[in-house]
Structure 1
Amino acid sequence: MEQFLEEQYDIMDVSLLAGKIMLESGAETYRVEDTMMRMAAAYGIKESHSYVTPTGIMFSIETEEPTKTKLIRISVRTTDLKKVAMVNSTSRRITNGELTVSQAYRELKEIHTSDVTFPLKLRIAAASIASGCFLIMFQGSWIDFISAMVAGGLGFMSVVYFERLIPIKFFSEFIAALIVGILSFLFVHTGLGMHLDRIIIGSVMPLVPGLLITNAVRDLMAGHLLSGLAKGAEAFLTAFAIGSGIAVVLTFL
């Protein structure tokens, strides 16, 4: 009996760890819940229940014994779709019977501790190129292309730096938008750019919380009203911080 109970707790730990990785990496709430229950079912748990919010996960299994429930807190959330894909791959292997409980836990632990993000220099370069491309997409001129690239790249670098320096939500986005606005104004003032509005629009696009907005809408459509509203509020406040940074520049310069 003790071995049976221990095995059940191990299955719960595997499911919770998979859910934690996915939620911290930017997965939708309904996807996290579905993955956790599928993994538990693959290990013989006939009925399980998961309740996921952006800040916590509750997971329980029903057996002949009293219902067992575990809760974990989610304090860090970022965007890392590579880890979401890796957990999905592990989940499929569990469903196909290719992994034991201990093997799955070790694999998920490796995914959780691994750093699969691209190098910072590459991400800054990608943000710079994206800023220039957004400028052209919004019917900007090629004269402003380099200005948008520089402002967008430095703005993205500012977000990364200030998130590490000052762990205050929305502060890094505000400062980054402030830097983008100042740089855009200087480029236009010195003749290196022509259209201030289009340079700013192109440069702030890498800062826009697109994934948050998408996940909020998808969670609302899936019936997860609490998670959808919470993510929508977070996306709104992020967009407000970006707009406030630009507004300060346009007001005082």
Structure 2
Amino acid sequence: MSQEEQTIKLDQRDVLDAAMTAGHILLENGAEIFRVEETIDRICHHFGVQSENAFVLSNGIFLTSGDEHEKRFARVEHIPVRGAQLHRVAAVNQLSREIEEGKYTLPEIREKLEQIRNAPGASKRALVLMSGLGSGCFCLMFGGMWQDCVAAFVIGCLLYLYLLWLNGRCSKIVENIGGGIIITVCSLLFIHMPLGMDMSHMISGSIMPLVPGLAFTNGIRDIADGDYISGTVRMIDAVLVFLSVAAGVGCVLSIYHHLTGGVML
């Protein structure tokens, strides 16, 4: 193999590695399938890799290239379903547009992607506070009194502290069942204190941090775009979360109903 062929092979591989890294960051942080494929295509085509072919699922990327003019390349990455970090998705989107404008070389692109991958999200204190505020505001929107909103705020904060404590150490199903149990138990305690006025409003507001709205929406968008496998997987994942939370809430209410002889609040 001549020096020129070695250089072409190295450059092509670097381009595909950079494109794969960008796709990985997008997919693991909640981006839609079409967005991942489009970003990979943009990066490869800008650097002259025309034979690139990306096949993206909800938890994996298959990237190949090669024809009579370009060297063969194949790579597969498994990407577990995780929570959304939309600031990283937005950063990669912006980077891909700047790449098309010719603002970066390959080494600079790799450096930028590492910066985006390692970019810190919101602090734990801010996440707990936002969970509480979201719960309280949704409780108000659903018709709760100010006492219900205060209770939902506290429950939302406690819920996120529970999620941070688990930190992915158990399955998503167990995690969400536990979240539903915590929400319902706390709502019952606030009713008896009494701080809350309507337990249904407190529960409705407090479960919102657990609702996988982004996954459900992306699932619908993927199905609409013809990515039926990925869309179905995301929809099933969202439905499992809904059912798990409902199971946790229903379990506590059933026990309470049994212990109080049919009295429900």
Give me the TM-score of the superposition, normalised by structure 2: 0.91
- Stretch deviating more after TM superposition (44-53 or 175-184): 44-53
Equivalences for 1:81-120 in 2 at 5 Å? 81-115=86-120, 117-120=121-124
Deviations 1:19-77 (A, max 9, x none): 00001111111110111011101111123211111221011223424642211111352
Output one character per residue of 1:153-203: Cα deviation in whole Å (capped at 9) or x when no partner. Answer: 111221222134x23222222111111110001111221111111110011
Question: Could you tell me which amino acid in structure 2 is paired with residue 33 of structure 1?
Answer: E
Q: Does 1:180 align with 2:183?
A: yes
| Structure-1 residue corresponding to 2:136 | 132
Structure number, greater radius of gyration: 2
Q: Which letter does structure 1 place at the counterpart of 2:85? A: D
Name the counterpart of 1:219: 222
Q: Does 1:245 align with 2:248?
A: yes
Opposite residue 228 of structure 1, the aligned amino acid is G
Structure 1 stretches lacking a partner, 5+ long: none
The two structures, once aligned, show a CA RMSD in angstroms of 1.3
Quote the Cα distance in structure 2 between the aligned partners of 1:205 and 1:169: 16
1:141 correspondence with 2:145: yes
Q: What's the offset of the Cα at 1:81?
A: 0.4
- Distance in 2 (CA, whole Å) between partners of 1:238 and 1:124 is 20
The equivalent of 2:193 in structure 1 is 190
Residue in structure 1 matched with residue 32 of structure 2 by the alignment: 28
In the comparison of the two structures, how many residue pairs are matched? 251
- Of the three residues 206, 227, 231, the one matched with 1:228 is 231
Which blocks of at least 5 consecutive residues in structure 2 are unaligned? 257-265
**Which deviates the most, 152-161 or 175-184?**
152-161
Give the distance between the partners of 2:108 and 2:92, measured in 1 at CA: 13
Q: Indicate conservation of the 8 Å contact 1:159/1:173, yes or no.
A: no
